[in-house]
Amino acid sequence: MAVTSYPALLVEVTRLLRPRGLFLSGEWARSLVFHPAFAPRTLAMHVPALTSFYARPTPHPPAHRAAPRAHGCLRRDRAACVPHAAWRRLGRAFRAVFLRYVASVRLMLAEGGALSAATCDDMYARVECELRTVAGLVAVFHTVHARKI
């Protein structure tokens, strides 16, 4: 969703929902994290290229952080970890999708003049290497659902 104001969105959702109506929102966390089983690993220490990739500013906070409790709604937040390495077939597929995302950002940064093409290529190569070799990375999918009471 390309929402700039989650509080305004939830006010409108609350207004439009019928009694017992359900609103559901889901989105990926902006960055990868280490699965708790791999603690005390940190992104900065174990995947520095990925850390610098995520250092770019983000325009809007995710809904699960920005959305306040809506009056007249019961709200629940949940998070699920998706493996991001060769843990299983799903992890390999998700890693491939994430590499496509990094490649698209690489093109935007290079074409927009934010970074040189050589710097973008180097960043992509280092991120790809980390994603293929560092175990324990997961993507977190956040859901927020609210039911009008």
pLDDT at 58 over 50: no
pLDDT at 1 over 50: no
Convert the pLDDT of each residue in 5-27 to its tens digit: 767 777 788 788 888 888 888 87
Q: How confident is the model at residue 60 (pLDDT cuts 50, 70, 90)?
A: very low
Cβ-based neighbour number of residue 24 at 10 Å: 9
pLDDT the model gives residue 77? 72
pLDDT at 67 over 60: no
CA 42/CA 139 separation, integer angstroms? 14
Convert the pLDDT of each residue in 44-57 to its tens digit: 999 999 988 888 65
Give one word for 109, left, alpha or beta, with left for phi > 0 and alpha for psi -120 to 50: alpha
Q: What is the largest CA-CA distance in the chain?
A: 56
CA dihedral sign, ordered 109, 120, 111, 97: negative
Convert the pLDDT of each residue in 84-99 to its tens digit: 654 567 778 888 888 8
Report helix angle 117-133 to 89-111, nearest 10.
170
pLDDT the model gives residue 71? 56
Convert the pLDDT of each residue in 88-141 to its tens digit: 677 788 888 888 888 888 888 888 787 888 988 898 899 999 988 888 888 888
Which residue blocks in 35-116 are alpha helix, DSSP H? 43-46, 48-53, 63-66, 89-111
Mean pLDDT, rounded, of the chain:
78
Tokens standing for 91? 């992890």
Domain boundaries, the chain: 6-148
pLDDT the model gives residue 138? 86
Beta strands in the chain (DSSP E): 22-28, 33-34, 73-83, 137-148
CA 95/CA 83 separation, integer angstroms? 8
